[in-house]
Amino acid sequence: MPDMLPFLRLTERAEKGTRAALYLSVGLGTGLVSLLILATLLVSVALVAVAGAGLIVLPVHLSLVRRWADAERRRTGSFLGRVIPPRHRPLPAGFGARLRATLLDTVTLREVAWLVWQAVAGVALGLIGMVALVGVPSTLLQTALWWMAPDGEPATLALRPVSDWPSALLLGAVQFTVLSALLLWGARPLARLHATVAAALLGRSRVDRLAERVETLSHTRAGALDAHAAELRRIERDLHDGTQARLVALAMRLGLARSRIDEDPEQAARLLAEAQSGAEEAMTELRQVIRTIYPPVLSDRGLVGAVEALAARSVVPATVSVDDLGAVPASVEATAYHLVAEALTNVAKHAEASRAEISLSRIGGWLRIAVTDDGRGGVEEGSGTGVGGMRRRVAALDGEFTVVSPAGGPTRVEALLPCGS
């Protein structure tokens, strides 16, 4: 029905316009409250300057501003259809520290700027929104009931006094047209203007975002250093307790064999044979240690081949699904491999699952690895070293790691690792 289309567009426009006018009208109320808060804030700042008594009142006020701004973040966020996250860090304990943290927080300044914006623009635009919202129905009422106005105080339509039906209908039509246009075409841009400025003042500034990024990076860097140190200690332990111990025994046997070779060649030969098998064992152990550093299967068969090999060896039947992965850095490959290995070990050890599924895919600059099983769920991260180790490995590469494992299952372990492009 093509002729219905303009009508549908108009109703959609009216709906959006009403929503915008409603947003602006509520802004009138919040603008007035903001004005009040601003005035009392000025009083407490003045009190600090005059008597110092404001030092007690000011923090209370500022925390009120915080909560008020948070409410507006939710309201404006829901109007714009996005989340405006609260930007405050938790306040420290202690009166002095709390006061200092609040006063030095740049967020506080921006919130006060928002109070001014809300008190001025919120009230002005709120009045316009209110007119747009109630204007149309009240025009219809006024036009129909103009004759009820008391003598000497005639009803006004389109800013002119109304004296008879023709003028009521004509002026009513003019006012109706103007106010409908305001509702249909005017309210939305005004509401968006108001909301965008509020969101800019209440949202994260570039500096905030950078500061947060630096904070996360220094955390992950610390995590990376920890993980690196732990890995070095493990390798050192493995070499010390395994390979080195075997080489020591080997050297002793060789020494003994050398000293006995003339008197008791038979015993010397036995010692040499033992030494040879000891050397082979040491080699096997060394190979195992090397394997944990950079699994040779990765260089032989690539990540996909290596993961397929893990799946083939898995006790619980496992399937692998792979998209086109593109180029993956060696460190990411190693992390992905270790992650799948530990996840599959956990499935075999704890999950009581009948099957597992491994998926590798590329999402933009990220490699996504997910291991899912249909077992009993209920992963407890703190109770072993495996899951925590996976998390640290992933954090070391600045990736993201999630475990979803409700009691009763299923369990999904997922990591996103950056591949640099």
Ligand X SMILES: Nc1ncnc2c1ncn2[C@@H]1O[C@H](COP(=O)(O)OP(=O)(O)OP(=O)(O)O)[C@@H](O)[C@H]1O
Q: Which spans of this chain sit near Mg ion (rule: CB under 5 A)?
A: 346, 384, 386
Q: Quick one: what does residue 375 bind among Mg ion, ligand X, none, with the CB cut-off 5 to 8 Å set by partner type?
A: ligand X
| 239 CB neighbour count, 10 Å cutoff | 15
Beta carbon nearer to ligand X, 227 or 257: 227
In angstroms, the CA 309 to CA 420 distance is 26
Beta carbon nearer to ligand X, 226 or 280: 226
Beta carbon nearer to ligand X, 66 or 350: 350
380 makes contact with ligand X (CB under 6 A):
yes
Beta carbon nearer to ligand X, 208 or 231: 231
In angstroms, the CA 392 to CA 231 distance is 11
350 makes contact with ligand X (CB under 6 A):
yes
The residue count of the chain comes to 421
Beta carbon nearer to ligand X, 188 or 350: 350
In angstroms, the CA 212 to CA 218 distance is 10
> Residue 94: exposed, middle, or buried by beta-carbon count in 10 A (0-12, 13-18, 19+)?
exposed
Beta carbon nearer to Mg ion, 344 or 419: 344
In degrees and rounded to multiples of 5, residue 412 shows phi and psi of -130, 120
Could you tell me how many residues of this chain bind ligand X (CB under 6 A)? 19
> From residue 308 to residue 347, what is the string marking binding to ligand X with x (rule CB under 6 A)?
--------------------------------------xx
> Using the rule CB under 6 A, which residue among 72, 377, 394, 417 binds ligand X?
377
Within 13 Å, how many C-alpha atoms sit on residue 217's CB side? 6
Q: Quick one: what does residue 373 bind among ligand X, Mg ion, none, with the CB cut-off 5 to 8 Å set by partner type?
A: ligand X
384 makes contact with ligand X (CB under 6 A):
yes
351 makes contact with ligand X (CB under 6 A):
yes
> Using the rule CB under 6 A, which residue among 323, 378, 402, 404 binds ligand X?
378
In angstroms, the CA 392 to CA 376 distance is 25
CA 280 to chain CA mean position, Å: 51
The DSSP output letter for 243 is I
> Using the rule CB under 6 A, which residue among 306, 336, 387, 415 binds ligand X?
387
**H/E element holding 403?**
strand 400-404
For ligand X, the binding residues in 357-376 under the rule CB under 6 A are 373, 375-376
Least distance (Å) between residue 411 CB and ligand X: 4
Q: Tokens for 336?
A: 């992905």
The DSSP output letter for 263 is T
In angstroms, the CA 259 to CA 271 distance is 11
13 makes contact with ligand X (CB under 6 A):
no
Beta carbon nearer to ligand X, 183 or 356: 356
Q: Which residues of 12-41 are buried (b: 16+ CB within 10 A; e: fewer)?
A: eeeeebbebbbbbbbbbebbeebbebbeeb
User: Residue numbers of the site for ligand X (CB under 6 A)?
Assistant: 346-347, 349-351, 373, 375-380, 383-388, 411
